[in-house]
Structure 1
Amino acid sequence: MKLENKVAIVTGVSKGIGLATVKMLLERGCKVAGWGRTSPDLSDDNFHFYKTDVRNIEEVNKAYEATVQDLGENIAILVNNAGLGYEGGIENLDPALWRQMFETNVDGIFYCSRLVIPNMKSNDEGHIINISSIAGNTGIPNMSAYCATKHAVTGLSHSMYKELRNFGIKVTCIYPGSVKTNFFDKIDSVEVNDGMMMPEDIASTIIHCLETQANYHHVDIEVRPLKPKR
């Protein structure tokens, strides 16, 4: 896909992978709608921020309506990046945190994707990128709820790509290992360090997927730091 003048929606844009992705899309001439709970420190004529909690379907619907009004309905790219995780053993995790993770990490992808698909089908072009985690491929002690959400993202992504591929729509699921972001602020067992990947690394992978020719489709991409610090 040629990115110049394409309209993209990116969720979870306040910082980290989302913000890095927005910046790279803007550099390539995209018009970007950023959906998130907090506005990023970013000013660009082609960037439009819409305050949105992807857990709330009404907020998502309103953000979509505003995006279409401002940027048009031909949205070619959706990056489902919004996500969060909490640490806790299966027997003592607060059920409210369980629900929050599923509502954000899984429901949010459904709420956002369902809105952009009809016009992508009409245009025979579109790319939906779901940001999962290596937790979507394996179990991690004391992260069972988070792993469950990311395994759900894997199943959702695979089903989506098989449903949509014949309509010219790509669905790619990316599974990062540790990335140096604020994700780990609430994960006491992990200390953020320079051995982790950077948000720009993941953003560059997203851009690579988007820029491939129409009949070339990345389904799953797992990325990890080469020499992680222990």
Structure 2
Amino acid sequence: MIALITGATSGIGRATAEAFADLDYRLILCGRRQDRLVELEQELGAQIPVITLNFDVRIRDEVEQAIDSLPDDWKAIDILVNNAGNAHGLSSIQNGDPDDWDQMIDGNVQGLLYVSKAVIPGMVARKRGHIVNISSIAGKETYANGAVYCASKAAVEALSAGMRLDLTQHGIKVTNVAPGAVETEFSAVRFKGDTQRAAKVYEGFTPLQAEDIADAIVYAVSAPSRVTIADITILAGAQAAATTIYRK
């Protein structure tokens, strides 16, 4: 099995790469941080074959060139995990920064589309494949000061459903995974490096870990051919809804 993972250098992407390596999958690991890609290739390459691709999912030419550059014996991608994405800022719509909006829409929506467009035709031709899109509880429940991020993840939800309608007939499964509060670099990126503010997001309760989401992805892609895990929502134990968390 060959799996391509975007946003593989940290958080859910890295945890998924590690989980797939334990399944002996060949890995195509994609990310913007070349130093982390090198580190990950050295770590997992001792266990299974690994190729890394350094590109930004928001730039269509980079996506196309990177995936086209794969050796022929790596192009038959069985699993695509669209994990790359981001949240930038936390503010009301009237006070939002359009540059933040562009970051989120370009990464979470257009980036997912660009990578999918580069991979799906091969899956259709081979009549098999599995696409896992990483959405968010924010795609199901809009919250104050997060309208654009929530909208971008609601788009992922819609794209997952639409992909399933279009691709099931070609033997391709589509799984949407919607995590709740996961302790990764997510909040540090949202708050633009303010680690103290980011840490407060996870105070007073035990958040999900990236490995929890990777476990769900492994469950979905390992299901029998007769089973499609269409949608998974995963909340922290103390979390009842997107912004309802019972803290000690």
> What TM-score, normalized by structure 2, do the two folds share?
0.86
Deviations 1:109-152 (CA, angstroms, capped at 9, x unpaired): 11011111112112221000000000000111101110010011
2:120 is the counterpart of 1:117: yes
Residues 124 and 167 of structure 1 are in contact (CA less than 8 Å); yes or no, is this contact kept in structure 2?
A: yes
Q: Which residue of 1 aligns with 2:242?
A: none
Aligned partners of 2:211, 2:170: CA distance in 1, in Å? 30
Aligned partners of 1:145, 1:182: CA distance in 2, in Å? 19
Aligned 1:29-178 pairs, distance under 5 A: 29-38=24-33, 39-40=36-37, 41-42=39-40, 43=42, 44-45=44-45, 46-67=49-70, 69=71, 71-86=73-88, 87-178=90-181
Residues 35 and 63 of structure 1 are in contact (CA less than 8 Å); yes or no, is this contact kept in structure 2?
A: no
Runs (4+) of structure 1 moved beyond 6 Å?
Answer: none
Aligned partners of 1:88, 1:199: CA distance in 2, in Å? 26
Identity of aligned residues (%): 36
SS in 2 for 1:34: strand
For residue 70 of structure 1, report the CA deviation from its aligned partner.
Answer: 6.3
Aligned partners of 1:53, 1:216: CA distance in 2, in Å? 33
Aligned partners of 1:191, 1:121: CA distance in 2, in Å? 42
> Which residue of 200, 209, 213 maps to 1:202?
213
Residues 16 and 182 of structure 1 are in contact (CA less than 8 Å); yes or no, is this contact kept in structure 2?
A: yes
User: In angstroms, what is the RMSD of aligned CA positions?
Assistant: 1.5
SS in 2 for 1:60: helix
Q: Name the structure with the higher helix share.
A: 2
> What TM-score, normalized by structure 1, do the two folds share?
0.93
Residues 31 and 71 of structure 1 are in contact (CA less than 8 Å); yes or no, is this contact kept in structure 2?
A: no
SS in 1 for 2:176: strand
Amino acid at match of 2:79: I
2:16 is the counterpart of 1:21: yes
Any gaps of 5 or more consecutive residues in structure 2? 192-196, 240-245
